[in-house]
């Protein structure tokens, strides 16, 4: 390994640990030698997120066991808006997102037949009668700020739901792979799924688990305030080619509110408190699993996954998986 590679790897590890103070001088040293190097540009973007200040009281939390809710008290809530082009700039075009949406709702029907299936969308998106959804809730949505708007209407939904209801807030390309009631078998307010080795976005917004009560709503309110702050001319926003409210920004905001250093230094804690809100950290390997093309998975392994996320350009795999699910093969 070259000295550059070693220093770069060390700086990335610092950021994974939430230590922007240690990573910054290493980045500066590398930048003097190789100014504008793409890896260093990415590292600078990571650094800007990790060191963005957001005041909150953060401490570990140990969730106690509880009886899970009955399926009838669970809402599976998806968000979808018809767009002419993906706002990410990296995803394939021509994907039939309505079919993807229908498959996600169908998986919820198979695994949680008594749960309520709800779609959050805008005032223009057509919803076919064949899509297995119980309720369609429409909002005025700015399509140019899709990720911010997704979180905003999710918060509006949580504000309006009954206080005794539990909710899964999911992307339309997420499959419900197991009875979701068991996800709520501990006492927490909001559950986030995390993945390792991503310095600026360890939490994926495609699955957010909102337990009963107002804690998840309050968490999203805090995250929306942070989202506004980082999108409004922050160093993070200045480094990105697109408005953070269109893409990227939601996961940055979640990480900043949780506290990247507090999360990295949690030790064996599976949860933490943020301003008194109990946040459960669910490993994405079981609760937001991403299948890779060309990889064979054992049936027993897949059955342990609560949610499977066919994110990005993996959506062609979703229909095949749903067919196996319907046939009882997984």
Say if CB 25 and CB 240 are below 8 A apart.
no
From the list 210, 179, 178, the residue with the least C-alpha distance to 193 is 210
Distances (CA, A) of 152 to 169, 201, 220, 221, 230: 12, 19, 8, 8, 15
| Alpha carbon distance 73, 93 (integer Å) | 37
Q: Return the ∠ at Cα 173 (arms to 172 and 178), rounded to 5°.
A: 100
Low-confidence ranges of the chain (pLDDT < 50): 91
**What local confidence, expressed as pLDDT, does residue 158 receive?**
98
**What local confidence, expressed as pLDDT, does residue 25 receive?**
98
Helix pair angle (146-160, 215-231), 10° resolution: 160
Q: Domains of the chain: which residue ranges?
A: 3-51, 71-326
Exposure string of 121-154, with b = 16+ CB inside 10 Å and e = fewer, is: bbeebebeeebbbeeeeeeebeeebbbbbbbbbb
**What local confidence, expressed as pLDDT, does residue 84 receive?**
80
Neighbouring-strand partners of residue 308: 175, 289
Query: 3-class DSSP state for residue 279?
Result: strand
| Alpha carbon distance 243, 5 (integer Å) | 31
| Alpha carbon distance 168, 153 (integer Å) | 14
CATH 3.20.20.80, applies to 71-326: no
Residue 127: both structure tokens together: 């919803």
**What local confidence, expressed as pLDDT, does residue 316 receive?**
84
**What local confidence, expressed as pLDDT, does residue 248 receive?**
87
Neighbouring-strand partners of residue 65: 186
Query: 3-class DSSP state for residue 66?
Result: coil
Say if CB 318 and CB 175 are below 8 A apart.
yes
From the list 18, 19, 22, 15, the residue with the least C-alpha distance to 42 is 15
Give φ, ψ of 167 to 5 degrees. Answer: -140, 140
């Amino acid at each position: 390994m070259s000295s550059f590679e070693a220093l770069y790897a060390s700086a990335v590890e610092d950021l994974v640990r939430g230590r922007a103070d240690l990573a910054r001088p290493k980045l500066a040293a590398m930048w003097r030698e190789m100014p504008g190097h793409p890896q260093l540009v990415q590292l600078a973007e990571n650094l800007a997120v990790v060191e963005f200040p957001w005041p909150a009281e953060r401490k570990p939390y140990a969730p106690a066991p509880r009886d899970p809710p009955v399926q009838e008290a669970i809402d599976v809530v998806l968000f979808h808006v018809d767009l002419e082009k993906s706002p990410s700039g990296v995803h394939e075009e021509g994907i039939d997102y309505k079919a993807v949406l229908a498959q996600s709702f169908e998986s919820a029907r198979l695994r949680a037949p008594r749960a309520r299936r709800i779609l959050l969308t805008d005032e223009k998106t057509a919803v076919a009668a064949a899509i297995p959804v119980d309720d369609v809730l429409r909002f005025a949505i700015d399509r140019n700020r899709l990720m911010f708007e997704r979180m905003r209407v999710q918060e509006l939904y949580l504000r309006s739901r009954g206080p005794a209801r539990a909710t899964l807030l999911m992307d339309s390309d997420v499959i419900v792979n197991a009875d979701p009631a068991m996800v709520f078998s501990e006492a927490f307010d909001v559950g986030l799924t995390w993945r390792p080795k991503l310095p600026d976005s360890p939490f994926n917004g495609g699955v957010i688990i909102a337990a009963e009560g107002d804690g998840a709503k309050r968490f999203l309110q805090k995250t929306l305030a942070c989202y506004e702050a980082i999108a409004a001319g922050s160093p993070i926003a200045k480094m990105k080619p697109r408005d953070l409210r269109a893409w990227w920004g939601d996961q940055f905001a979640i990480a900043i509110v949780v506290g990247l250093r507090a999360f990295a230094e949690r030790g064996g804690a599976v949860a933490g408190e943020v301003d008194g809100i109990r946040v459960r950290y669910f490993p994405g390997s079981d609760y937001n699993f991403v299948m890779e093309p060309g990889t064979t998975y054992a049936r027993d392994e897949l059955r342990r996954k609560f949610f499977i996320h066919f994110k990005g350009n993996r959506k062609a795999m979703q229909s095949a998986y749903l067919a196996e699910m319907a046939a009882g093969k997984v």
